[in-house]
Amino acid sequence: MADARLLSVVLVGLGHIAAKHLMVLQSHPRIRLVATVDPTQSERPDSFVGMAEDIPHGSDLGAVLRLVDVQAAVDHRLVLLATPNGTHIPLARVAVEHGWHVLVEKPMGLDPVGCADLLRYALQRGCVVAVAMQNRFGPAARALKDLVEQRLLGELRIVQIDCLWNRDKKYYNTSAWRGTRALDGGVLFTQFSHFIDLLLWLLGRPAEFSLHSSNRAHTDLELDHDTGVLSMRWLDGTLGSMTYTTAAPPGRALSGFTLLGSQAGVRLSGQYMDRLEWLTGSGQVSPESGPGPFAGDHPSTQFLLWDHLCGVILDGHKLQLPPEEALEVVRFIHDIHLARS
């Protein structure tokens, strides 16, 4: 018998990011994992062999969903897609066709037209489509959103985003899909779409933008570029830049999101974008008046994301991850690629 208090989840794709989601799926009191699917593996890999044997596994999503429907009579059901970017849209359509809600790992897909078609189809079928933009749920990011909406920084002048990461040959050799146009789509989709989402969530789409880019460290891949400087201008005169790379020297990744206004400046940073600090006019941190830091003992952003989805599907809460905004991330990255110099 189905349990109306639980969200039944089928996990699709058993790679690195799936393992992170699995920690939440197995610990959240309102979630039960009912099946796993990996289109490339008929059996679960070694890192997932400890899973309960009564949880079925297969390589065909449609077949597994039919099996679960027959065996478990699932009412509240969701498919998590943790597969290569280029497979998101066709697999999501299979899930929606069978009447399952969907959570897609970022990005929603690589083709804005295909993403828009998916959302229309899901609306017709009455299915929720959400994208894992979990950084929005972090307390630091939410505090920054409040600062911008309440205009506590004054008139915005400058936005600066820094994403200085390293992805070496070992990373790309681990999975054949990485670095390909059809399944990866490039660093803005795979590595930095969270930052594009935060940018659009906080400020909206810029009226003008241009991109200078290069590829010097990954010339053996299909990647269009591994390094870029995106220049932006909004209608109100705010200027912005985003400097990003996967060709930084080995070491800890550096990520930051700085907003400077006429009255104050603030910076969102940290490995998980979990630290928010006021900046004084001299550029020094002012901790006594700042809204952060928020790092410490609080639920992970992935747990908060799943908790929110439980509220949406089980309790009828409003979805705070509008799929139209996830679609806009795909559209903007697509347009950035077209603006490449």
Q: Report the distance separating Cα 334 and Cα 341, nearest Å.
A: 14
Predicted local confidence at residue 163, as pLDDT: 97
Check pLDDT > 70 for residue 115. yes
Predicted local confidence at residue 298, as pLDDT: 65
Mean pLDDT score of the chain: 92
Least confident range from 74-83, 270-279, 324-333: namely 270-279
Mean pLDDT over 313-321 rounds to 96
> Helices (DSSP H) in 263-322: which residue ranges?
301-315
The model's confidence at residue 3, banded by pLDDT at 50, 70 and 90, is: low
Joined tokens for residue 273: 């974008």
Mean pLDDT over 72-95 rounds to 94
Joined tokens for residue 240: 């912005």
The model's confidence at residue 1, banded by pLDDT at 50, 70 and 90, is: very low
Check pLDDT > 70 for residue 252. yes
CA angle 202–188–41, rounded 5-degree value: 120
Cis ω before 250 (30° cut-off from 0): no
What SS3 class is residue 249?
coil
Domains of the chain: 7-131+302-318 (3.40.50.720), 136-298 (3.30.360.10)
Given a contact cutoff of 8 angstroms between Cβ atoms, the answer to whether 92 and 80 are in contact is no
CB hemisphere CA count around 170 (13 angstroms): 2
Joined tokens for residue 120: 């229309």
- The pLDDT tens digits of the residues spanning 121-153 come to 999 999 999 999 999 999 999 999 999 999 999
Q: Report the distance separating Cα 20 and Cα 18, nearest Å.
A: 5
Given a contact cutoff of 8 angstroms between Cβ atoms, the answer to whether 224 and 189 are in contact is no
Least confident range from 7-16, 85-94, 292-301: namely 292-301
User: Which long-range contacts does 202-206 make (Cβ < 8 Å, 24+ apart)?
Assistant: 202/144, 202/145, 202/148, 202/259, 203/148, 203/156, 203/159, 203/234, 203/238, 203/240, 204/234, 205/328, 205/332, 206/232, 206/233, 206/234, 206/240
- The pLDDT tens digits of the residues spanning 279-295 come to 965 554 444 444 544 44
> Helices (DSSP H) in 260-300: which residue ranges?
none
Given a contact cutoff of 8 angstroms between Cβ atoms, the answer to whether 233 and 209 are in contact is yes
Predicted local confidence at residue 341, as pLDDT: 62
Check pLDDT > 60 for residue 328. yes
